[in-house]
Chains A and B, each alone.
Chain A
Amino acid sequence: MTIRPSRRDILLALAATATGCGLPREAGPASPLFPLGVACGDVSVNSADLWSAFLGPGPLTVRVWPRDDETSAQTFDATLDDAGIGTTLVRTLSADTAYAYQFSGGDGVLSDVGLFRTPPTADTLKPLTFGVASCARQTEPLAPLAVVAERYPLDALLYLGDTVYADGAKTLADYRGKWREALARRPQRLIRGATSVIATWDDHEVINDASGDRLDPSMLGAARTAFFEYQPVRPDAPTRLWRSLRWGKTAELFVLDCRGERNHATREYMSREQMDWLKAGLASSDATFKLILNSVPISSYPGALFGAFSDDRWEGWPSQRDELINFVDANTSGVLWLTGDFHMGVAGRVARTGPGSTQVEIAAGPAGSNLANPALSYPSPPQFDFASSINNMVVLDLDPATRAARVRFIASNERVLFDHTYVV
Chain B
Amino acid sequence: MGLASIAAGIFVHSVPFLINGRPQPYVTAGGFAVMLGLNAGITHLVLPWLATALHPGRSLSDARLTAWQTSRWALLGGAAGVLTYAVGGGLEQASFGRGQAVMLAGAMLSLAAMLVWDVLEAVGSWR
Contact = CB atoms under 8 A, between A and B. Distances in A.
Contacts of A377: 23, 25, 89, 92, 96, 99-100, 103
A308 B101 CA distance: 11
Contacts of B25: 376-377
Contacts of A384: 96
A271 to B, nearest CB: 31
A380 B107 contact: no
Interface string A60-84: 0000000000000000000000000
A306 B97 CA distance: 8
Interface string B23-47: 1010010000000000000000000
A379 B97 CA distance: 8
Given A376-B107, A377-B92, A389-B17, A303 B23 contact: no
B22 A303 contact: no
B28 A303 contact: no
A303 B20 contact: no
A380 B104 contact: no
Contacts of B101: 303-304
Contacts of B59: none
B21 interface: yes
Q: Please indicate which of the listed interface residues B22, B23, B103 has the most CB atoms of chain A within 10 Å of its own CB.
A: B22
Interface string A319-331: 0000000000000
Contact of A376 (B20, B28, B93): B28
Contacts of A417: 21
A389 B96 contact: no
B104 A389 contact: no
Interface in B87-109: 89, 92-93, 96-101, 103-104, 107
Among A372, A381, A384, A417, the most chain B Cβ lie within 10 Å of the Cβ of: A372
A376 B21 contact: no
A401 interface: no
Contacts, number: 57
Contacts of B100: 303-306, 376-377
A378 B22 contact: yes
A265 interface: no
A19 B92 CA distance: 46
Contacts of B103: 305, 376-377
A302 B96 CA distance: 7
A384 B93 CA distance: 12
A51 B17 CA distance: 38
Interface in A389-422: 389-390, 417
Interface residues of A, number: 22
Contacts of B28: 376
A284 to B, nearest CB: 36
A301 interface: yes
A304 B99 CA distance: 8
B97 A301 contact: yes
Contacts of A306: 97, 100
B23 A376 contact: yes
Interface in A344-388: 345, 372, 375-381, 383-384, 387-388
Nearest to A381: B96
Contacts of B89: 377
A387 B22 contact: yes
A384 B92 CA distance: 13
A375 B17 CA distance: 11
Contact of B21 (A301, A305, A372, A383): A372
Task: Indicate the member of A305, A376, A381 with the most B CB atoms within 10 Å.
Answer: A376
Contacts of A301: 97
Contact of A389 (B21, B92, B98, B107): B21
A380 B20 contact: no
B111 to A, nearest CB: 13
Contacts of A390: 20-21
B19 to A, nearest CB: 9
Contact of B22 (A304, A305, A381, A388): A388
Given A376-B28, A383-B96, A388 B21 contact: yes
B98 to A, nearest CB: 7
A305 B104 CA distance: 8
Interface in A287-341: 301-306
Contacts of A387: 22
A384 B21 CA distance: 15
Contacts of A378: 22-23
B96 A379 contact: yes
18 contacts: A302-B96, A302-B97, A302-B98, A303-B96, A303-B97, A304-B101, A304-B104, A305-B100, A305-B104, A375-B23, A376-B23, A376-B28, A377-B23, A377-B25, A377-B92, A377-B96, A388-B20, A389-B21
Interface of B: 17, 20-23, 25, 28, 89, 92-93, 96-101, 103-104, 107
Give me the 4 closest cross-chain CB pairs, A-B, nearest first: A302-B97, A388-B21, A303-B97, A390-B21
